[in-house]
């Protein structure tokens, strides 16, 4: 999960840069993640994702929603993130 989380956030960073934005412009994150476990295992998996995420997000970060799903587009994908950024012209 750590490698996939870093890959997702690196791709978003590049996409933001191409639009003239940074993580400071992100106002909302929707995270979809796959994990087949329960109890402490879920917390451990989330902690691993959060450790990577926090390397990218400013403090305070954007509001966010996390949804645990049974599968994503391709087998083996563990995380998908949608970022919504607001860029104001002239600022």
Retrieve residue 47's tokens.
Answer: 């902690």
Rg (Cα) of the chain, in Å, rounded?
Answer: 14
Q: Average pLDDT over the chain, rounded to whole?
A: 94
Farthest CA pair distance, the chain: 48
For the cut 80, the answer to whether the pLDDT of residue 90 exceeds it is: no
For the cut 70, the answer to whether the pLDDT of residue 44 exceeds it is: yes
Q: pTM, whole model, 2 decimals?
A: 0.90
pLDDT, mean of residues 29-45:
93
- Position 88 scores a pLDDT of 87
Other residues' Cβ atoms within 10 Å of the Cβ of residue 64: 16
- Measured distance CA(74)–CA(82) in Å, rounded: 17
For the cut 60, the answer to whether the pLDDT of residue 51 exceeds it is: yes
- Measured distance CA(80)–CA(75) in Å, rounded: 13
Of the pLDDT bands very low, low, confident and very high (cuts 50, 70, 90), residue 85 is very high
């Amino acid at each position: 999960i750590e490698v996939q989380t870093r890959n997702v956030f690196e791709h978003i960073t590049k996409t933001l840069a191409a639009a003239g934005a940074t993580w400071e412009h992100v106002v909302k994150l929707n995270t979809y993640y796959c994990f087949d476990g329960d109890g402490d295992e879920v917390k451990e998996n989330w902690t691993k994702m959060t450790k990577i995420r926090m390397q990218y997000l400013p403090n305070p970060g954007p509001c966010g929603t996390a949804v645990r799903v049974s599968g994503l587009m391709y087998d083996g994908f563990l995380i998908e993130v949608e970022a919504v950024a607001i860029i104001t012209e002239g600022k």
